[in-house]
Amino acid sequence: MVEISYIILFFVSLLITTFYARIWHKHFNVEFTLIYTLIPIVNLGYVFFAQATTLEGIIFAVQVSYIGGCFLQLLIMLNIFHMSHIELSQRVKGAMFLLSGLIFLSTLTVGKYPILYRNIQVTGEPPLTILKEYGPVHTLFYLMVMVYFLASIGAIVYALLRKREVSRHVLWLLFAPEVVCMLCFFGGRLLTDQIELIPFGYAFAQVVYLFIVRRITLYDISETAIDSLTETGAIGFISFDFHMNYLGCNATAREIFDELKTLTVDQRIPKGNPLGKLALNWVTTFRRDELKDKFHYERDDRIYLIDINYLYDGKHKRGYQLVLTDDTENQKYIALMDKYNEDLQREVEAKTHDVIKMQDNLIRSIAMMVESRDNSTGGHIIRTSDVVGLLLEEIRKDPEFREAHHITDEFCEDLIKAAPMHDIGKIAVDDDVLKKPGRFTDEEFAKMKKHAPEGARVLHEILKKTKDQTFKTIAENVAHYHHERMDGSGYPDGLKGDQIPIEARIMAIADVYDALVSKRVYKDSLSFEKANEIMMESMGKHFDKCLEKFYVAALPRIEEYYREQDES
C-alpha cells in the first residue's frame, strides 16, 4: 500500500510538471521551473525507498529524497521572496545554496561516516524495517529547513502588510503549500513511521503553483509590447481584467491619475472613484464597438489620449489595457489649424523651413570649424559630401536596390546633409594629435579613433530635440560607423557586413576616396588610376561589394569633380 501511494504521487507530480511545461511562459520565474523539475525526482526517490530490498538501496533513496529537503525548501523560499518583491543579494543567495549543497553532500557519507546519520541499519524481509540514529549534521539540516520556512512566512506577512503592488490572492496561495509542506515534513513523522507525507505535500504545492503561474502573467506589466516606449516616461498604461479588477500600472499613469496611488492589485475600483466611472464608460463603449477605442481626457491643462486595447496573454484575451499618451501639443495644433487660415499655415511652414535650414547651416558650420583644427584635411567635408551626392544619384537609378535597403528620397537628402558632419567627433581630439605633421603612433591613432563614437555622441546631444528622427539617426550612424569595414576589421565597434548601416557604408567610399586623391601632410595625393585600383581591391573587404557598381558608374563624374576642384 505504501509503495502504491508513492508511485501514484510520483506519476501525479510528473503529470503536473508535464502540464507546467506545456503552459510555460517567459513570465514564469526560474524558481518555479526548478521546483517543477525537482519534485518528480524527489518523489521518485520515495518510490525507490519503498521498493528497496537492501541497505544500499535504502541509502540511495535517502540521498535522492534529501534533494527535496536541501534544495526544494530553498527554492520555495526564494520563489516566495521573488513573488513578494523582496530582493535578496547575490551573496546571500550564494551562501544559502552553498549551505544546502554542503548538507546534501553529507548524504554521500550515509552508511560510511557518522556525519548525517550516526548509524543506519535494516532488519527483516521486505518491506524492510529501518533503524537509524541521526548525526550532528542532521540537526543542522532541521535548523536550516526551519529557517527557510520562517523566512518564507515572514516574507508573505511583510508583503501582505506593506506591498500594495503584490496580489493578495497570490500571497495567500503561496502561504498554503508552505504550511502544508512543513506539516507533512515535521507533523507527518509524529503521526506515523510507516509512510512519509512529504511527497503529498510537494504534489499539493505543484497544484497550487499552477493557479499562481496562471495568474502572474497578468501582473508582469513591464513585459508588455509597449515596454520600450514606457521607459521614456511619455506613455502610461493601466491594466484591468475582464471583471474590471485592477492589475497594475506604470509610474506615468500614477502621475496622471492620483487615484491609482491608493489602489491595491486585484482590487475593483470603487464606484465613487472618478477614474472608475471614466474607465467603465470607456470600456463599455469599446465592448459595443471595438473601432471606438480612442478617447480624450483633460486634466491640469493637459490633454491625454486614451487608447483601449485587449490585454493579451499569448494569444488569449485576459482583460483590458488603457494606454495613455500626452496629446496636448497635438490637440493644440489641431485647434490652431481650425483657428487660423491657410495663409497662416503656409507662413508657419515657411518659418519651419527657415529654422531647419538655419539648423542645417549651423551644424555644417560647426563641422567646418572642427575641420579647421585639422591641418591635413582642408575641404574634406565639402568634397566628401559632394561625392556622396554623386553616389546617391547612381543609387537612385536602381529601384530594386533602393527598395531592398529602404533608400527613399528623404533618406538621400538626409544623408547628403549628414555627410559633412561625419568627422565632427574630432572636436574631442587633442590638438597635439589632430595637428601632428606626420603619421600617428599607435597611441595617437587610438586617440584619433575615438572621434567616431564621440561624433555620434555630439550629434545626439545637438539633435536630441529635433523632430526629424530619421535625419538624427542617419547623422549619428554616419559619424559613428564610417570607419567600419565589411570584413569586421574597422573601428570603433568592429561591425561586419550588414551590421554596418547602409548610410555609413556609402559614406566610407566617399571618405576613403577623398583621402586617397587628396594631399595630406604625411603623404602626396594619388593619381586617379592608383586611387581607383586601391578602391576596387577593397570592394568586399573594406567597402560593400553591393555598392561597387554605383561607385564604378559614378567614377567618371567623381574624377571630373576633382579635376574642377584642382583647377579652382
pLDDT tens, position by position, 123-173: 766 666 666 788 899 899 989 989 999 999 999 999 998 888 888 888 888
Using the predicted structure, report yes or no on whether residue 190 has a pLDDT greater than 60.
no
Tell me what pLDDT residue 183 has.
85
Residues of the chain with pLDDT > 90, as a percent, come to 29
Instruction: Show the cell assigned to 551.
Output: 561607385
Q: If you average pLDDT over every residue of the chain, what do you get?
A: 84
C-alpha to C-alpha distance for 351 and 498, rounded to whole angstroms: 39
pTM for this prediction? 0.45
User: What are the Cα distances from residue 432, in Å, to 448, 452, 467, 513, 524?
Assistant: 11, 18, 38, 26, 22
The C-alpha atoms of residue 35 and residue 201 are separated, in whole angstroms, by: 13
CA torsion sign for 335, 339, 341, 344 is negative
User: What pLDDT score was predicted for residue 119?
Assistant: 84
Sketch the domain layout of the chain as residue ranges: 2-216, 221-334, 346-567
Residue pointed to by grid coordinates 530619421: 470
Tell me the CATH number of domain 2-216, given options 1.20.1070, 3.80.10, 3.30.70, 1.10.287: 1.20.1070
pLDDT (tens digit per residue) in 472-490: 999 999 999 999 999 999 9
Q: Quote the pLDDT of residue 275.
A: 80
Q: Is the CATH code 3.40.50.2000 the one for domain 221-334?
A: no
Q: Give the fold, CATH level 3, of 346-567.
A: Hypothetical protein af1432 (1.10.3210)
For the chain, how many residues are written?
Answer: 568
Which of 550, 504, 501 is closest to 397 using CA atoms? Answer: 550
Question: Which of the 8 DSSP states describes residue 262?
Answer: G
CA distances for 308 relative to 283, 319, 520, angstroms: 7, 11, 62
Report pLDDT digits (tens) over 9-51.
Answer: 889 999 998 998 888 876 677 888 888 888 999 888 888 888 8
pLDDT in tens, 76-86: 899 899 888 88
pLDDT of residue 344: 63
Reduce the DSSP state of residue 382 to 3 states and report it.
helix
Helix axes 30-51, 73-83, angle to 10 degrees: 160
Residue 424 reports pLDDT greater than 70: yes
107 in Cβ contact with 66 (< 8 Å)? yes
- Mean pLDDT for the stretch of residues 374-402: 84
Question: Residue 560's pLDDT band (boundaries 50, 70, 90)?
Answer: very high
CB atoms within 10 A of CB 476: 24
- Of 65, 69, 45, 67, the C-alpha closest to 186 is 69
Q: What is the pLDDT of residue 390?
A: 94
Contacts of 496 (CB under 8 A, 6+ apart): 486, 487, 488
**Per-residue pLDDT band at 327 (split at 50, 70, 90):** confident
